[in-house]
Every structure is written in structure tokens, then in C-alpha cells.
């Protein structure tokens, strides 16, 4: 027998293998071009140089480590452009929204380098009709900053929704009456919502901006209407006085005791209100903050509450001081992507020492907040617009969403913790048939297969779906909404818009005084009998001034002395 072949066949050692080199090589694969690792020998040579040169090298290294962009991890879980990204406070779960109308839920603790995918897909706006399924793109998704147990979702509808961290709908704003002209009289938005955010300290409240020229403040404990309403009366809109509100931010004032609301409108104005009211008129207004009829897609307030940054559809980025809001402190030219992607944002870094935004050429721009000059420009998705960007303070990682449906997590292994670092610190999982993405089907909240299973060698997607349904006649729903599985009973949807009657719980929450329908009307009226007698409502004004009625008493003589006797 050949000794070389036997040596190759037999293992060189027994027991657990050394995985340090594998993990180090795995981390090196995530290193981005242009951020090569320095050689140890060259580093030791640099240490032997004189003191001045060593100090300059250390300062350069500090600048490189200031922004966590040396490595990246790519998530390809959506089918269309990623428009919004949010992470919970602990940095354990990430949710991304897209123009494919879906929310993707990702858990960093359950992923490995070869199993990077969403564990759940939710379409929060899907409504089933007899003809098709109606869905809407996602504009904004934000975790509640308190504990991350709730998620605010704003889509291209008139209703915002509060979801649990597992994707279950907990709260839904009401629709307004579109036939009312006075927006102060409506209980909710009457046209599409464009943006929304949470209160910075009272985490039971949030605000939404709509194309009906209003900002509406909601309380999750009040389900019948909004808590407060702000109507923007545009002076450039003529007699109508309406202008679409494009984006909104809610932050703390410099003292930190009170909050402030800042919003932009399609007429180019920048407006600021006190966060706790009154909301009759803005405390500051800049009419020509950006060019009118251009979509200002991004706005943010610094952590100290002194600066406001806006990104307009006029290809300009401007920074403002709230103490003198008439003119911007500085401005710079920056190509806008708001016309195609109206949710393109701009944010302050967690410590407000930098400003982050994407560009039309797919680069991440990190700007100096004082001069708005770029401190770092790094390509993320070259030649493909970068839409949204977030910087998580606890993980120290930058997350970006692009038009090619990719989510990139930029990090630095030495300064970043958990998140993408924890994923790349694990060995790849052994593949199983259930881990094959082509054999795994995501189910949406309607109980219908979200991803069609395509058979190899066929080009028609409709033919694939019909073939799969014919082979599996007990899977899915019929046209009337009933389950094809004979073992599963039909559960009617308990909503006010379904064919069945609304549930009793829904009536109690949405309809005022609905509990009076089960009350006996006679007992309800007699309950107020004593109160009406002792404390009258309508005749109370004359209770002291009403003269007493006195009837004349007639004697027999005055009556003529002759009284008629009763007939017997």
C-alpha cells in the first residue's frame, strides 16, 4: 500500500481541532478593501523611530479607529431597496424595512457566518381581499428607546402601527374622516404618513407626520383618536394652506428638562414647536430653509439639543443652531436621492461629533458637524444609492441600507462589541436540509406562502406556483380565505373590515359608550331620577327666583252658595 496515500487518509491528530486560526481568517475575510492589516514587523520598526514620528503614527492610528468601518458583514434578506433600519437598545435584534413591503427580523445571537438570514418576515399592512393581497412599502421602523419591546412602523398608508418585538400588532392609529376640511376636527390622518418617531423621554407617546399638512401626537393608551394635533398652515400654498410634512424629529432641549419637535414641509419650511405644547403656532419657523417643492428627506437633532441638521431635495445639507434658527450655520452641496427614495436620512453620531449620510454613488459620508467637510468617504455599494444609515452607540457599529436590497454592518473588531463581531466569532454551522434557503418557506401574517418555491429548469413563476399548489392541495388558502387543510377549522378574521362581525373587545376599544348597549334602559333612566329631582339641570337657574304658585281659595258664599250635587 502506498504510504503517502495512507498518510493523507489518516488524521494527523485526535480530539478537538484548533479553531483560533480559522476564526482569525474568518474575521480577515470581512476586512474591507483599503483597510489592510499592518505587518507586525513594520509596526515594530515604527516603534523604534524617534518620539515625534511615533506620536504622529499613533495619531494616525487613532483617526483610523475613530470610525468603525474597517470590516463589514452583508445581509441579503430583502428583495428590494432597504428604506429603514432599527436596532433595540441592547443591540441584540435588528429589524429592516423595505419597498418590498416586508419587515425582516434578525437575531445576532442565532446567526453564524453561513446562516445570515432573517428568522421572521412580517408584512404589517397586508390586507386580504377577494381579488388580491394589498401591501404597502415601509417608510420608517423604530424600536422604542426604553426597552425595545415595541416597534413603531410607518408605511405608505394613513395608519401607523405599534408591533411587539416579535412582529405582533399591538396598536393601530385610527383613520381620519377625509371629507372634513378642518384638520383639527379629524381623529387621525386622512392621507399618507411619511415619517414618525418616539418621544425622547415619555416612551408611551410618538408623533407622525402626514401629507395632510399635520403632525399628530399619539398615546398608546388612547385608541380612539390622537392625543394632540399640529396643523401646519403654509403661506406658500395659497388659499388651501396645506403642504405635505416630509419628516419629523423629537429631541431634548439644551437644558434637558423639556423636549422640542422639529419638522420640515414640502414648501421648504423648517418648523419647531415645544414638545409638550401648546401647539397653536411654532416657536420658530424658517420659510425658505430648503427650495420649495423639493422633498426634505432627512432631519436630526444633536444629543445636546443645540444643533439641527437637514438634508433637502435641493442637493443641500444645512446645519442650524436652535438659538438662531433664521440662517444656517453652514451648508454644503450633496446630491439628493429623495426624489427616488424619500426616506433617505441623515443622522448625528451618538456623541454628536460627526454627521452620517449616504450618497447616490453608494458611499458613506462622515462629515464634520462644524464645517460639514467630509472626514471620511468610504464606498459601501458602489454606483448603487445608499438610502439609510444608523450608528448604534452600544455596539459601535454602523448599519447601512442600499437600493440593491443589501444591509451592510460596518465595524471594527477592536472597538466594536457583539453584533456582527459575535457572528464572525462563531464557526460556521453544519449544513442541514432545513438550512437550505431554497427549501425554506417564510409565512406571512395571512397564512400564505411568502416566497414561491421554484422548480429547476422552469422559467414561469406562475407555472411554478400552480404546480406546487396542485401537488399540495392541502396547503394555503382558497379564494374565499378558507384553509385548504380539511383538518384545520375555518377561523374568521375578527376585524371590523372582514365579512364577519367585529369582536366585542374591538367595539369596547374603538366605540365610545359601547358598554351602554348591554344596559337596561329603564334602570339607566331611574338611576338619575333622584339626581334630576334634587339637582335639576335645565331649571336650576330659576330654583331661587321662581315665584311660588298660589291658588285662590273660594268660600261657599263667593261660589254663589249653590253647589251642584253629584248625581247618584
Q: Is residue 45 part of a domain?
A: no
Indicate whether 312 and 392 sit together in one domain. yes
**Per the domain annotation, does 466 fall within a domain?**
no
Mark whether 336 and 255 lie in a shared domain: yes
Q: Is there a domain that residue 269 lies in?
A: yes
Q: What's the order of all strands across the beta sheet hosting 307-311? A: 298-301, 307-311, 316-321, 330-333
Contact (CB, 8 A) for 224 and 174: yes
Q: Considering its fold, how many domains does the chain have in total?
A: 2
Q: Which domain holds residue 517?
A: 492-534
Q: Give the three cell numbers for residue 498.
A: 372582514
Q: Indicate the range of 19-28, 70-79, 431-440 predicted with least confidence.
A: 431-440
Closest CA to 513 of 527, 524, 523, 522: 524
Which DSSP string do the residues of 12-47 spell out, in sequence order?
S--SSPP-HHHHHHHHHHTBPTT-PPPPHHHHHHHH
Residue 51 domain-assigned? Answer: no
Q: Is 363 helix (H, G, I), strand (E, B) or coil?
A: strand
User: Is 542 part of any domain?
Assistant: no
Q: What is the pLDDT of residues 278-330, one digit of tens each?
A: 898 899 999 999 999 999 999 999 999 999 999 999 999 999 999 889 899 99
Identify whether residues 87 and 150 lie together within a single domain: yes
**CATH number of the CATH domain containing 114:** 2.130.10.10
- CA dist 381 to 117, 386, 407, 429, 489, Å? 19, 7, 10, 28, 48
Contact 268, 274 (CB under 8 A): no
Same domain, 128 and 251: yes
pLDDT band at 218 (very low <50, low <70, confident <90, very high): very high
Would 10 be classed as within a structural domain?
no
Say whether pLDDT at 396 is over 70.
yes
pLDDT tops 90 at residue 411: yes
Give residue 8's pLDDT: 67
429 within domain boundaries: yes
In the numeric block, which cell numbers belong to residue 217?
401626537
Long-range pairs for 477-481 at CB < 8 Å and ≥24 separation?
477/446, 477/447, 477/448, 479/130, 480/130, 481/128
What's the order of all strands across the beta sheet hosting 346-348?
346-348, 355-358, 363-367, 374-379
| Integer Cα distance of 34 and 363 in angstroms | 14
Are 379 and 255 found together in one domain?
yes
Residue 524 lies in a domain: yes
Burial code of 434-456, b = ≥16 C-beta within 10 A, e = fewer?
A: eeeeeeeebebbeeebeeeebee
Closest CA to 380 of 351, 360, 396: 360
State whether 500 and 414 are in the same domain: no
**Are residues 366 and 430 located together in one domain of the fold?**
yes
Which CA distances in Å does 501 have to 104, 150, 421? 32, 29, 51
Check residues 480 and 265 and name the one with the higher pLDDT. 265
One domain for residues 375 and 496: no
Mean pLDDT, residues 31-43: 69
Amino acid at each position: 500500500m502506498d504510504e503517502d496515500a495512507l498518510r493523507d487518509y489518516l488524521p494527523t491528530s485526535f480530539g478537538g481541532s484548533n479553531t483560533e486560526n480559522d476564526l482569525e481568517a474568518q474575521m480577515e475575510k470581512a476586512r474591507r478593501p483599503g483597510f489592510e492589516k499592518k505587518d507586525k514587523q513594520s509596526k515594530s520598526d515604527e516603534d523604534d523611530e524617534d518620539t515625534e514620528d511615533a506620536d504622529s503614527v499613533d495619531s494616525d492610528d487613532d483617526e483610523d479607529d475613530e470610525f468603525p468601518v474597517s470590516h463589514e458583514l452583508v445581509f441579503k434578506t430583502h428583495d428590494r431597496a432597504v428604506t429603514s433600519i432599527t436596532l433595540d437598545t441592547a443591540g441584540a435584534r435588528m429589524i429592516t424595512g423595505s419597498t418590498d413591503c416586508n419587515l425582516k427580523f434578525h437575531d445576532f445571537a442565532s446567526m453564524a457566518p453561513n446562516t445570515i438570514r432573517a428568522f421572521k418576515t412580517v408584512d404589517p399592512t397586508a390586507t386580504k381581499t377577494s381579488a388580491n393581497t394589498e401591501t404597502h412599502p415601509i417608510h420608517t421602523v423604530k424600536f422604542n428607546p426604553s426597552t425595545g419591546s415595541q416597534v413603531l412602523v410607518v408605511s405608505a398608508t394613513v395608519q401607523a402601527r405599534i408591533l411587539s418585538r416579535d412582529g405582533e400588532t399591538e396598536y393601530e392609529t385610527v383613520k381620519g374622516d377625509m371629507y372634513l376640511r378642518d384638520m383639527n376636527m379629524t381623529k387621525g390622518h386622512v392621507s399618507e404618513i411619511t415619517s414618525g418617531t418616539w418621544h425622547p423621554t415619555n416612551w408611551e407617546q410618538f408623533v407622525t407626520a402626514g401629507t395632510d399638512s399635520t403632525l399628530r401626537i399619539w398615546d398608546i393608551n388612547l385608541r380612539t383618536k390622537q392625543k394632540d394635533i399640529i396643523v401646519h398652515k403654509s403661506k406658500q400654498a395659497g388659499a388651501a394652506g396645506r403642504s405635505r410634512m416630509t419628516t419629523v424629529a423629537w429631541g431634548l432641549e439644551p437644558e434637558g428638562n423639556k423636549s422640542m419637535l422639529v419638522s420640515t414641509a414640502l414648501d421648504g419650511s423648517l418648523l419647531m414647536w415645544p414638545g409638550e405644547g401648546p401647539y397653536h403656532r411654532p416657536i420658530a419657523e424658517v420659510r425658505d430653509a430648503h427650495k420649495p417643492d423639493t422633498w426634505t428627506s432627512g432631519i436630526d437633532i444633536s444629543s445636546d439639543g443645540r444643533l439641527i441638521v437637514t438634508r433637502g431635495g435641493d442637493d443641500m445639507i444645512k446645519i442650524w443652531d436652535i438659538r438662531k434658527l433664521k440662517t444656517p450655520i453652514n451648508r454644503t452641496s450633496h446630491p439628493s436621492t429623495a426624489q427616488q427614495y424619500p426616506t433617505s436620512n441623515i443622522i448625528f453620531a451618538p456623541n454628536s461629533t460627526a454627521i452620517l449620510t449616504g450618497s447616490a454613488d453608494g458611499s458613506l459620508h462622515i462629515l464634520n458637524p462644524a464645517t460639514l467637510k467630509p472626514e471620511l468617504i468610504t464606498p459601501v455599494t458602489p454606483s448603487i444609492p445608499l438610502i439609510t444609515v444608523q450608528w448604534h452607540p452600544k455596539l459601535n457599529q454602523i448599519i447601512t441600507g442600499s437600493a440593491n436590497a443589501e444591509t451592510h454592518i460596518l465595524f471594527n473588531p477592536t472597538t466594536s462589541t457583539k453584533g456582527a463581531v459575535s457572528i464572525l466569532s462563531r464557526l460556521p454551522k453544519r449544513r442541514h436540509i432545513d438550512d437550505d434557503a431554497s427549501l425554506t418557506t417564510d409565512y406571512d401574517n395571512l397564512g400564505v406562502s411568502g416566497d414561491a418555491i421554484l422548480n429547476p429548469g422552469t422559467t414561469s413563476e406562475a407555472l411554478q406556483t400552480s404546480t406546487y399548489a396542485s401537488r399540495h392541495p392541502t396547503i394555503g388558502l382558497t379564494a374565499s380565505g378558507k384553509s385548504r387543510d380539511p383538518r384545520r377549522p375555518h377561523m374568521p378574521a375578527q376585524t371590523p373590515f372582514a365579512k364577519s362581525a367585529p369582536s366585542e373587545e374591538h367595539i369596547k376599544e374603538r366605540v365610545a359608550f359601547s358598554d351602554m348597549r348591554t344596559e337596561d334602559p329603564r334602570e339607566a333612566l331611574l338611576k338619575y331620577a333622584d339626581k334630576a329631582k334634587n339637582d335639576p339641570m335645565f331649571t336650576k337657574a330659576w330654583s331661587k327666583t321662581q315665584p311660588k304658585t298660589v291658588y285662590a281659595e273660594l268660600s261657599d258664599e263667593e261660589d254663589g252658595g249653590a253647589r251642584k250635587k253629584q248625581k247618584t
